[in-house]
Structure 1
Amino acid sequence: MDPQQFVYFFSALLSLGAALLMALVLFDRLAPMTAARAGIALERLRSGLRLRQAGVPGFAMPYLEGGKGETLVLLHGFAGDKDNFTRIARFLTPHYRVIAPDLPGFGDAGRDPQAGYGIAEQAERLRALLDQIAPGRVHLGGNSMGGFIAAQFAAAYPERVASLWLLDAAGTEASHSSEVLKRYEASGDMPLLVREEQEYGALVDACTQERPFLPHSVLTALGRRAVADFPLHTAIMQQVAASPLLQPQPQYAALPALVVWGEQDGILHPSGAAAFGQLFPRSRVVMMPGVGHLPMVEEPRRTAQDYLEFRRGSA
């Protein structure tokens, strides 16, 4: 190929690439719900995850599953869903069987305005789910509210839990001492409760130090779902806030735990890391500079590497 032909060929490729990019942008903007489903499905495929269906009394509880080996169950936080763990899962599925469910009241799980959604009640629903899909011992992880549920589950069913992975977890007085939660107690204002679709970006910003890439379509789809859930999530937030805080337990003494906290977490106070370190004598605490409330979303590779190192050390 002579130089003139190469230039022509390269220019044609650039034009084609620009046209494809423009088509993707238009698809993302003009058909956001369809584009969001396609984008999420692609992320799951990259991470080796498949959507499965399950249910507990009164609720559907779909979950993502992928990989082989010991079972690692991951619980999302308030206003989150199973896909909070999709990006980090690509670093975990080569080593473990990863399960990430939607908790009742969130994601694609069932909703019942008359049901209770306190931490102990959600822990019981987790037990019912695991009885079906992972009846033995599991390694259990959770972010924020999901970490609270994981620790509560470990106290109630220590024989079911091989280790804990707590990512900016709720459930201690220290972690609840943030300005966001103080403001919520005083006024009911909370960035995790979304009244208008355009407020969803503010929720993401409140939870992250630097917003990760999220297409317009995904922000739109999640924003619409959050608005529809506003009445129910307002009630669930009240029930979570009223749940008893975690207390020292004999069951915690021998349980290996990795406590991870973003140093710039604006939702739950970083002093919660030390509090969890005291609750779990066999814990390792990792503080992550430049990270907010969602380490597994903001720094998935680094967060996964810390977990893999922890598991090697506790084996």
Structure 2
Amino acid sequence: MQLHYRELGQGERTLVILHGLFGTLDNWQTLARRWAEHYRVVLVDLRNHGRSPHAPEHTYELMSEDVRKLFEQLQLPADRTTLMGHSMGGKVTMRFALDHPDYLAQAVVVDIAPAFSDMRHQDDILAGLHAVDFTTCTSRQAADEALAQHIPQPDVRQFLLKNLYRREDNSFAWRPNLAVLDAEMAQIGEEITSDTPFLKPTLFINGGRSNYITPEDKLHGIPALFPNSHIATIPNAGHWVHAEEPDQVFELVEAFVKQGG
């Protein structure tokens, strides 16, 4: 699996960024440009997303291995590399850090905990994505109207519509591998576990209006696996912390990466 990626900036330190479920590397591009003024940034499309290849399986072990191969391909220096991920990408980051601690100086996890996630909240999104009939859909507006039957929130629909693209025959399609993601949804919600904790510095960024990181996670789940971690809460942000409070996320990550692990 050779993941699609995009590089910005240069410098001694490298920040690798992983998006969440139904996302693409484009979701982080605005912040990445700002960080790229100071160091090298690598934006990644995870398997079954964006422009990366589709595959029949979608587990954290496999996604962690995909990222490991990319690290080796890019010859990233372990003592100067930070891996950061949001939501599903955050769980990939945790899995990678626990599986391959020698590849990283530090890690950043954005609004997700190691605990099991009930993925039923994705049912409406999947229903909306499947509701778009590409045999008759001829515009983004038509796709939006189909999504709206299941997804009333305009901001969520706009996020999903970033996955819409035209094929060579000029018809529309979704970039994510919906069939596999639908079938593997239970795997996407699975708990991240390990017999050995990740001892290097880890920053957890939590949206104050999000319930993806619970008080129990803060007290037990996160410290058990990431004993050298700090949880920074951004009070006015929900789950999409980087979209809702980009300046605060920029500053938190900027300061953490500069520390260098």
Tell whether the structures are fold-level matches, with TM greater than 0.5.
yes
Corresponding position of 1:256: 201
What's the % identity of the aligned pairs?
25
* Structure 1 position 302, deviation (Å): 1.4
1:172-213 Cα deviation digits (max 9, x unpaired): 14xx2xxxx3645xxx8253662233365776949xxxx49x
Call closer, same or farther: CA 1:227–1:97 in 2, change over 3 Å. Answer: closer
Aligned residue-pair number: 237
Conservation of the 8 A alpha-carbon contact between 2:114 and 2:193:
no
Corresponding position of 1:67: 9
* Structure 1 position 283, deviation (Å): 1.2
CA distance in 2 between counterparts of 1:310 and 1:293 reads 20
1:289 corresponds to which letter in structure 2?
P
2:254 corresponds to which letter in structure 1?
L
Conservation of the 8 A alpha-carbon contact between 2:4 and 2:44:
yes
Conservation of the 8 A alpha-carbon contact between 2:112 and 2:213:
no
Tell me the C-alpha RMSD between the 2 structures.
Answer: 3.2
Mind listing any 5+ residue stretches in structure 1 that lack a counterpart? 1-55
Q: Residues 51-66 of structure 1 correspond to what in structure 2 (within 5 A)?
A: 56=1, 60-66=2-8
Conservation of the 8 A alpha-carbon contact between 1:155 and 1:249:
no
1:199-245 Cα deviation digits (max 9, x unpaired): 65776949xxxx49x699858659x654874323202323323x4x2
Task: Report SS of the residue matched to 1:80.
Answer: coil
* Structure 1 position 121, deviation (Å): 0.8
CA distance in 2 between counterparts of 1:126 and 1:63 reads 11
Task: Report SS of the residue matched to 2:227.
Answer: coil
Work out which structure has the larger RCO, using CA pairs closer than 8 Å and 6 or more positions apart in sequence: 2
Corresponding position of 1:133: 74
Q: 1:195 aligns with which of 130, 142, 166?
A: 130
Task: Report SS of the residue matched to 1:104.
Answer: coil
Q: Residues 229-268 of structure 1 correspond to what in structure 2 (within 5 A)?
A: 229-241=177-189, 243=190, 245-247=191-193, 249-252=195-198, 254-265=199-210, 268=212
Give the TM-score normalised by the residue count of structure 1.
0.65
Call closer, same or farther: CA 1:273–1:303 in 2, change over 3 Å. Answer: farther
Mind listing any 5+ residue stretches in structure 2 that lack a counterpart? 132-142, 167-171
More helix by share: 1
Corresponding position of 1:98: 41
Conservation of the 8 A alpha-carbon contact between 1:123 and 1:149:
yes
